[in-house]
A and B are shown apart, each in its own frame.
Chain A
C-alpha cells in the first residue's frame, strides 16, 4: 500500500470534482436549475480538445483552449435552447418547471451524448496532457499531469472565490443565490445574472472536462456517471452551497480513491452512495446546506 499515492491521486481527482461541482451548484443556487446535461457538456469539451489537439494538429495548448471554448458554447446553448424557454414559458405551471427543466436538460444531454458518439465514436479518448512526464515526490513517481490538474482546478476555484467575494458583479451573483426576489426589488435584472452564471459555469465545466479527459480519459458512455457524481457531490455538500460542494468533493474524491486502492476498483462508487443515503436521511439539507 502506498499512502502517498492515495493522497496525491485523491487530491487531484477531488480538486477536479470540486471544480465540476461548483459550477453545477452555482446554477442551482442562483436559478434553482439542476442541469442534468452537465456530464454531456464536460464530455463535449474533452472530446473537442482531444480532436483539436490530435486530428487537427493544434497541439495540447490550443486543443485545451478549443475544449474550454466548446464547453462554454455548449453551456450557453443549453441555457438558450432548453432552460430559458422553459423558465419563461407561460404554458408550464410554476410548480412544474422543476421537472420540465430536469427532463429537458436530460434529453438535451442524451442528444449531446449521441451526437458525440456519432461523430467521434464512443471509444474512450485521452486528451494530450498540458505537460507530459513524471516527477519524483518523496520516492513516489507521479505524473506531472496530476499536479497540473490539481493546480488548475484550485486556481479556477480561487479565481471564482475572488470574483464572488471581491467584485461588485460577483456580489450580485451571491445576492441572487441568497434571495433572488430581493435582488429584483433592488432593480437588478435576473436574466442578466442567469446568463453570467451560465457563462461562468460553461468555463468551469469546460476546464473540468478537458482536465478529466487528460487525467482519466472520457467516452460518451461516461455522461450519465459524470452527471450523477456531480449531483451526489452537490447534494452531499448541500444544494446551492459552494463551500459545501467544495468540502463534499474532497470527501467523495478521497472516499472513492481509498475504496479503489484498498478494497476494489469495481466498487469505488458504492461507499459514496451509502454515505449519500445516510446524509439525505439524517441531514437532508446536506453537510453545509442553508435550507
Chain B
C-alpha cells in the first residue's frame, strides 16, 4: 500500500467515524423512544432506582429509559444544558431549583403534567415549597421539580448513653435548654478541665458539619428574606443560635474537640461517631438507619443492637409546639432540562416514578421518609428506621424550612461553612462573624440581582417576555 493510499484511508476512516460512528441512540431497534436519565446514586441506592426503571421499561412498549450514574452531576448537568445537549431527565438537589428555574434551564412541570399526577398537593406540606419557584418573567410560582427521595432532619439520641449519664431516655431533650443540660451531663473526659482529652461528647454542631447554617432556626430565625431579597444572617435569632454554638464549644473545649473529632471515622463506616458511642446525640436524616443497620453493633441474629431514639430538632422553650415540629427538608429532586426532544415521554416516566408504590419502594431502599402527603401503613410499619413516624410528622408540619431559595446560595453556604468553624473555634464573637457574613451574603445577592436585571427579569422589571418554556 502506498503512503498516499494509507493516508487517504486514514482520513476517510476518521471522517466516517465522526459522521457515522457510535453515539447515544435516541430510538431502539424496535422503535421505542430512548430517554437518558442521569442520577447521582451508586451502590444499593442506584440498584433500587434501576429496579424501578426496569419495571417501567417492561410495563410499556413506547419508551426505554437508560439509567446512568453520573459523578459531579450538578456541574455536568449545567455544562450539558449550556451546551444544548442535555440528558432527558436529571436527578439534582433541592437547592439547585432556583438557579435552573430562573435561567430557564429546566422545564416547568405544571404544563406538562396534564393528568395532574405530580401536582404539589400530592406531597407532604413540608416538601411542597421545594418544588416551586417563581417563573423569572411572569413572577408566578410554578412547579419545576418532583421529589425523588425525601429527607428531613431530626435529633438522634443514644438511649444507653443517656441512661448512663443519669438522664431518662424516654424523656429526651425537646428544648435547647434541656439539650444543653443533657449535653453537660453526657460529656466525658480523661481528666478535669476543658483541656483534658474528650472520651465522649454530648452534641457537637460540627459533627457531621453538613448543615452549618441551621442553628438560628431553633430560635425562630431564618437566613433569607426572599420577598425583599435580603440576607438575615445577623438577625438576633441567628446570633442567639450561633452563641449557643460557642457555648457548646467552650463546654467541650476547642482543641480537645478538634483532636477528638479527628478520630471520628467516615460517616458510612463502623467508626461513625454515633455508632461508636463517642457522640451521644446527632442531627441526621432518616438515612442514618442505613449506617446503623450496615455498620452498627448486632446481636447473635444479626439484628442492629444500637438503642436509639429520634425526636424533632430541639427549639427554645417559646418555640416548642410538639404538634408542629421544626425541621429542615433536605431532598433529592428530578427535573426535565430545557432542550429535550420528547418532554411528554419524560413526564410519563416521571409520573411513573412518583406513583406511591415506587416512591415508597425508593424511600425504603434509601432508608428515607416518603415525601408524599400520605404514607401507607405498610411503609411506616416496615421501615427500617424506628423513628420513621417522627420524620413523617416533621414532613407534614407547617414549620419546616429549607435551603434559602436563591441562586447565590452556594456562595452564601461557603461563607457560613467557614463562619461556623471560626465561631466554633472561638476566633471571633458570633455577632461579629455573622455581621460580616451578612454583608458578604448581601453582596452575592446583589450580584445575582444585577445579573437578573441585565437580562430583563430583575425584581423591579416588568415581565415583558414569555415564561421560560
A binds B: no
Binding site for A on B (CB under 8 A): none
Binding site for B on A (CB under 8 A): none
